[in-house]
């Protein structure tokens, strides 16, 4: 497939993106860690051109760069190389070529707010106040001593990973800023050489064939120029929430930097970015969205399992994104509890299928997280044995959910190592991996995996599900969320029963010459093509999609 063909350039809107956490996807050399060759060996699962594969359009790789792993790769020691544990630049280029050959795009994770403290830039910067790298990070003097003789901090900012956002560097006799761990110093985006170097990183990967980027915590790149303290706030859980974060992110200067970055991405056709909005509001997200530059606003990720919660959140976002800003939809990622577990109910995997239907049919680009197509649940990893660094610092002032639990190995087949590794996996496989794996679920037409394949391939074949407008419809039952997706002359209706009981609903009429609906897919195995009556009863936790006919 020619990926530069202009008819292919709105893949970022039509397509489905699949997040791979490289460490946990597939291990090709038995060291217990996933790697690039492992990913390449499993591309058939993602896209082989047939409905026997998931049918996705792009993979997003969580960081693959050399890293001491203080934050599992989100502390980058070299932005333009590949960590030897994952492979080599040549191996990466091979992977990109293999993806492109099957019409899959490749998105990299760019962590540009901070580097690793082991990055050569920081090593040079922390060595002294002179020298070419002296201003590459955010250094400040201490404003004096407290009554007990401790050095005062430059301001009241907190680290999102617990404790103050400042660490003392004896060599410079200054503090440096870190929004996350002390091993993740924040880069100084106001310093022109830093900006130029980071844009060079983008250029390098674009030249190596990368199609897009996920921008880690992009709205923290710029801080208040004078680093003024944040105003205090009452309430909330943990010290982070006891201030209003108005000075440590969302600064006006960000707009210019984003414009430069996007211009660079746009130099070749078909590029895209998706920015991770850090701890922000829907209105902030809407302000940053631009064509083929998406924003994760996480509207859906924290919701309770009710039709009212989802309906309300979708309506609020539709309003904020009016008239035509394009959303990114996500239910799980490497930072949050997996949604199959969050939504666990009395009827096994039924809710996971409803959730998959929502993700694949809601207006916006779906982002899947590896393993969700199996309805993989969280691992249970107590904080005491956590690998996730902030989990090891958790306390009353710093409540934290151990993210290891959402990062367990992918299960490919039954047996020891689950097809993930022939060695010792870095985290254990899920206890149910013997049955909840790709090979076993592939043989079961009623499995969550089979449903993901069907629903994504239906989306691929149905333009109104990809790009149509969206209107939520009143079904007459508060537990059923339904919406119509409409393009000129075509429509589809989606009905999702969130309840563990049957629900009788009314459907709106279709479009113009096609006022009725013909069933396309139902989790209950109703016959495709059957005309739907205006009033019908959905089974408990049933999801169905019908096409205007």
- Residue nearest ligand NOJ, CB atom distance: 74
Q: Rounded to whole angstroms, how far apart are CA atoms 334 and 296?
A: 13
The reply to whether 71 sits near ligand NOJ by the rule CB under 6 A is yes
Between 427 and 472, CB nearer to ligand NOJ? 427
Judged by CB under 6 A, does residue 367 bind ligand NOJ? no
Nearest to 467 by CA among 485, 492, 480, 493: 485
Find the radius of gyration of the CA atoms of the chain.
Answer: 24
Cβ burial of 472 (10 Å; 0-12, 13-18, 19+) is middle
Q: Quickly list H helices, 66-191.
A: 89-101, 120-127
How many positions of this chain bind ligand NOJ (CB under 6 A)?
Answer: 9
Contact 115, 105 (CB under 8 A): no
Q: Cβ of residue 313: shortest distance to ligand NOJ, in angstroms? A: 21
Q: Does 70 bind ligand NOJ (CB under 6 A)?
A: no
Candidate list 40, 57, 169, 216; residue touching ligand NOJ; CB under 6 A? 216
Which single residue is written with the structure tokens 């499993």?
A: 42
Question: In the complex with ligand NOJ, which residue's Cβ is closer, 405 or 470?
Answer: 405
Q: What is the DSSP string of 488-524?
A: TTEEEEEEEE-SSS-EEEE----BTTB-SEEEEEETT
Residue 74 binds ligand NOJ, judged by CB under 6 A: yes
In 10 A of CB 501, how many CB atoms? Answer: 11
Minimum distance from residue 260 beta carbon to ligand NOJ (Å): 21
Q: Report the site for ligand NOJ in 259-298 (rule: CB under 6 A).
A: 276
Residue placing its CB nearer to ligand NOJ in the complex, 301 or 546: 301
**Cβ closest to ligand NOJ, residue 114 vs residue 172:** 114
Residue 294 or 494 with smaller CB distance to ligand NOJ: 294
To the nearest whole angstrom, how small is the minimum distance from the Cβ of residue 121 to ligand NOJ? 17
Give the nearest distance from C-beta 26 to ligand NOJ in angstroms.
21
Instruction: Collapse the DSSP code of 363 into the 3-class scheme (helix H, G, I; strand E, B; otherwise coil) and give the result.
Output: coil
Phi, psi angles (nearest 5°) of residue 202: -60, -45
Spell out the SS3 assignment of 115-139.
CCCCCHHHHHHHHCCCCCCCCCECE
For residues 116 and 74, give the distance between their C-alpha atoms in angstroms, rounded to a whole number: 8
- The Cβ-side half-sphere exposure at 360, using a 13 Å CA radius, reads 32
Q: Is 60 in the site for ligand NOJ (CB under 6 A)?
A: no
Q: Shortest Cβ distance from residue 403 to ligand NOJ (Å)?
A: 7
Identify the active-site residue in 27, 71, 216, 248.
Answer: 216
CB–CB of 161/389 below 8 Å?
yes
User: What is the smallest separation between the CB atom of 390 and ligand NOJ, expressed in angstroms?
Assistant: 8
Q: Which is closer to ligand NOJ, CB of 23 or CB of 334?
A: 334
- Kindly tell me which residue out of 176, 180, 398, 426 binds ligand NOJ, with binding defined by CB under 6 A: 180
Q: Look-up: residue for tokens 């919660």?
A: 309
The verdict on 20 binding ligand NOJ (CB under 6 A) reads: no
> For 396-432, what is the HEC assignment?
CCCCCCCHHHHCCCCCCCCCHHHHCCCCCCCCCCCCC
Task: Report the nearest approach of ligand NOJ to the CB of residue 181 (Å).
Answer: 8
Nearer of residues 73 and 419 to ligand NOJ, judged by Cβ: 73
The tokens 């409803």 sit on which residue? 354
How far is C-alpha 45 from the geometric centre of its chain's CA atoms?
A: 20
Query: How far apart are alpha carbons 449 and 436 in whole angstroms?
Result: 9
Q: How far is the CB of 138 from ligand NOJ (least distance, A)?
A: 16
**In the complex, what is the shortest distance from the CB of residue 334 to ligand NOJ, in angstroms, rounded to a whole number?**
6
Name the residue with tokens 């899947």: 368
Helix (H) or strand (E) holding 109: strand 105-110
Q: In terms of CB distance, is 395 or 504 closer to ligand NOJ?
A: 395
Whether 200 is a known active-site residue: answer no
Please tell me whether residue 169 adopts helix, strand or coil conformation.
Answer: strand
Give the nearest distance from C-beta 279 to ligand NOJ in angstroms. Answer: 10
- Exactly one of 39, 46, 77, 111 binds ligand NOJ (CB under 6 A); which one? 111
The Cα-based distances of 479 to 259, 384, 496, 498 in angstroms read 43, 40, 8, 5
Given the complex with ligand NOJ, which of 60 and 133 has the nearer CB atom? 60
Q: Could you confirm whether 477 is annotated as catalytic?
A: no
Angle, CA 437 vertex, CA 403 and CA 304 arms, to 5°: 45
**Closest-CA residue to 521 (of 482, 495, 485):** 495
Q: Note whether 217 binds ligand NOJ by CB under 6 A.
A: yes
Nearer to ligand NOJ, 42 or 407 (CB): 407
Residue closer to ligand NOJ (CB basis): 334 or 353: 334
Helix (H, G, I), strand (E, B) or coil at 194: helix
Catalytic residue among 44, 173, 200, 267: 267
**Single residue of 31, 335, 344, 469 touching ligand NOJ by CB under 6 A:** 335
Encoding tokens for residue 390? 């902030």
| Residue 286 token pair | 């809407």
Smallest distance, ligand NOJ to C-beta of residue 63, A:
9
d(CA 286, CA 250): 13
Report the interface residues with ligand NOJ, using CB under 6 A: 71, 74, 111, 180, 216-217, 276, 334-335
Tell me the catalytic residues: 216, 267
């Amino acid at each position: 497939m020619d990926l530069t063909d202009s008819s292919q350039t709105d893949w970022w809107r039509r397509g489905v993106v699949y997040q791979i956490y490289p460490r946990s996807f597939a291990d090709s050399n038995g060291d217990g860690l996933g790697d690039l060759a492992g990913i390449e060996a499993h591309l058939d699962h993602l896209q082989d051109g047939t409905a026997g594969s998931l049918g996705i359009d792009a993979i997003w790789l969580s960081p693959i760069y050399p890293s001491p792993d203080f934050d599992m790769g989100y502390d980058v020691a070299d932005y333009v190389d590949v960590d030897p544990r994952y492979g080599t630049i040549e191996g990466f280029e091979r992977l990109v070529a293999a993806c492109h050959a099957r019409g899959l795009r490749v998105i990299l994770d760019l962590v540009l707010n901070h580097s690793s403290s082991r990055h050569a830039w920081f090593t040079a910067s922390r060595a002294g106040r002179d020298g070419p790298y002296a201003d590459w990070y955010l250094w400040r003097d201490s404003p004096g001593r407290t009554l007990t003789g401790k050095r005062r901090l430059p301001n009241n900012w907190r680290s999102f990973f617990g404790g103050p956002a400042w660490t003392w560097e004896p060599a410079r006799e200054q503090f440096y800023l870190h929004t996350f761990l002390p091993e993740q110093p924040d880069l100084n985006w106001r310093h022109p050489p830093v900006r130029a170097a980071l844009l060079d990183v983008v250029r390098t990967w674009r030249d190596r064939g990368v199609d897009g980027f996920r921008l880690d915590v992009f709205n923290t790149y710029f801080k208040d120029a004078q680093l003024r303290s944040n105003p205090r706030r009452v309430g909330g859980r943990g010290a982070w929430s006891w201030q209003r974060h108005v000075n440590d992110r969302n600064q006006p200067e960000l707009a210019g930097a984003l414009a430069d970055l996007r211009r660079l991405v746009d130099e070749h056709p078909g590029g895209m970015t998706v920015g991770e909005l850090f701890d922000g509001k829907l209105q902030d997200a809407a302000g940053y969205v631009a064509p083929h530059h998406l924003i994760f606003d996480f509207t859906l990720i924290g919701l309770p399992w009710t039709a009212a919660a989802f309906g309300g959140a979708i309506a609020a976002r539709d309003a904020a994104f009016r008239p035509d800003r394009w959303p990114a939809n996500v239910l799980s990622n490497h930072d949050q509890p997996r949604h199959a577990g969050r939504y666990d109910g009395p009827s096994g995997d039924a809710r996971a299928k409803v959730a998959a239907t929502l993700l694949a049919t809601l207006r916006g680009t779906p982002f899947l997280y590896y393993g969700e197509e199996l309805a993989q649940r969280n691992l249970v990893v107590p904080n005491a044995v956590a690998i996730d660094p902030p989990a090891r610092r958790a306390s009353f002032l710093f409540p934290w959910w151990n993210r290891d639990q959402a990062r367990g190995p992918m299960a490919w087949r039954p047996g020891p190592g689950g097809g993930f590794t022939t060695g010792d996996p870095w985290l254990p496989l899920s206890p149910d991996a013997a049955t909840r794996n790709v090979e076993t679920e592939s043989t079961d037409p009623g499995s969550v995996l089979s449903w993901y394949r069907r629903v994504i391939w239906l989306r691929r074949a149905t333009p109104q599900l990809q790009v149509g407008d969206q209107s939520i419809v009143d079904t007459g039952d508060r537990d059923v969320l339904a919406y119509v997706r409409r393009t000129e002359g075509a429509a589809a209706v989606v009905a999702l029963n969130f309840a563990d009981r049957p629900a009788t609903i009314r459907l709106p009429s279709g479009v113009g010459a096609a006022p009725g609906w013909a069933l396309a897919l139902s989790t209950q195995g109703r016959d495709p093509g059957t005309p739907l009556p205006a009033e019908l009863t959905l089974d408990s936790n049933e999801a169905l999609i019908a096409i205007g006919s």
